[in-house]
Structure 1
Amino acid sequence: MKNLIVVLFIMGFTSAIGQTEIPSTKSQIKTALYACPEMYQEGAKVLGYNQKGELVTLREGNNSMICLANDPKRDGVSVSCYSDKLEAYMARGRELVASGKGEVEKRDLRKKEIDAGTLMMPKEPAAAYMVTAKKEDHDIESGELKLSKMRYVLYKPYMSGAETGLPTKPSAPGMPWLMDADTHRSHIMITPASGN
């Protein structure tokens, strides 16, 4: 009998560990909007997770901004908002990850598709905003973040350092720089210096 109780306890404990708590729709939307510029928040479309852990539309939008709620399976908190001109690129990345593709394979497949013209990218730089935080700084019930870090990105394929006048590696705190220069995934990175 004791052995049966121990086995049942271990099974229940392991099952509880394996479960991921999915915040309410309201909480997910609030957290996702931390990454959205204030002028776009009211009309931004928000993607997040249902109680099965599937990515769904939590709120329809009426402007050009799409926000992505935190993936409850990830360690810590990471939310983003981006121009709808980047949705094809972002959605394709999510699709490839869901099908089991690794980071290198995902990058290579998207490059082939962009170069072939089957995956559309914006002709002018399009913005994305990311907010990250530690799990302990996130109130899962209310969706509030106590402490977080912001990063801004401007995507446009095949930008070069010479074309933009930007350094191609970080050179000073808070200074914009061009990451993945001369590639299909080139983007201008702007990470505010600590304390700003």
Structure 2
Amino acid sequence: MTRQSRFAPLAAALALFVLQAPAAEKMKPAAAPASDAKRIESAMTAAPAKVAHDATIVAIDDKGAMRTLREGHNGFTCMPDNPTTPGPDPMCLDSAAMDWAKAWMGKQAPPTGKIGLMYMLSGGTDASNTDPYATAPTQANHWVETGPHVMIVGADQSFYAMYPHEASPDTAMPYVMWAGTPYQHLMVPVK
């Protein structure tokens, strides 16, 4: 099985995750396709330099297909900023977080016993804090704006119970996003 076909389900999942954008008036104008060197440079801003240096770098095209730009060897996969979303959103995920993302997008139960880490150190896209599948803000879905952060996914309920999990959180402090759903995860802001 090729790398591209192995990642095909995840490509669609991560494309939706990265593409979650609010109203069109907040979206960036469409940009010309970046060179692979620029995509790699963007993807490497998602994680600490030591992680990004040895990570696999992938790009997702407008059809959701994933293409490897650079092979890595540390278990992390980084993606560049999506120019169609309102803020910088390159991300870098370890293999457990990739499995969690696949489960989320497939509306499957997330794997148990596999805690994953995602970096979004350049910022993040606005998203619903209560609805894992919301694609636009409504009065009921508690839309939040995030800055640079890391996410911890796949932990036990007891771990998340230690952190605030209000529908309208203080995003300057760690909080649980999508609390009470199988896809709850800890958002940890970083500066």
Residue deviations 1:140-182 (CA, integer Å, cap 9, x gap): xxxxxxxx94111101166257x64212136656321222233
TM-score by length of 1: 0.58
Going from structure 1 to structure 2, the CA distance change for 1:52 and 1:171 (only over 3 Å counts) comes to: closer
Correspondence 1:69 to 2:80: yes
TM-score by length of 2: 0.59
Which amino acid in the other structure matches residue 113 of structure 2? K
Number of residue pairs matched by the alignment: 141
Match of 1:165 among 158, 162, 165: 162
Residue deviations 1:12-68 (CA, integer Å, cap 9, x gap): xxxxxx975111111111111111122212210111146988431111110121111
Correspondence 1:55 to 2:52: no
Counterpart of 1:180 in structure 2 is 178
Match of 2:42 among 6, 22, 31: 31
Q: Structure 1: any 5+ residue segments left out of the alignment? A: 1-17, 94-105, 115-119, 135-147
Distance 2:172 2:87 in 1: 23
Going from structure 1 to structure 2, the CA distance change for 1:190 and 1:23 (only over 3 Å counts) comes to: same
Correspondence 1:132 to 2:123: yes
Percent same amino acid at aligned positions? 21
Cα RMSD (Å): 3.4
Q: Say if 1:157 and 1:184, in contact at 8 Å, map to a contact too.
A: no
Higher RCO (CA < 8 A, seq sep 6+):
2
Distance 2:111 2:70 in 1: 24
Larger relative helix fraction: 1
Which one has the largest radius of gyration? Answer: 1
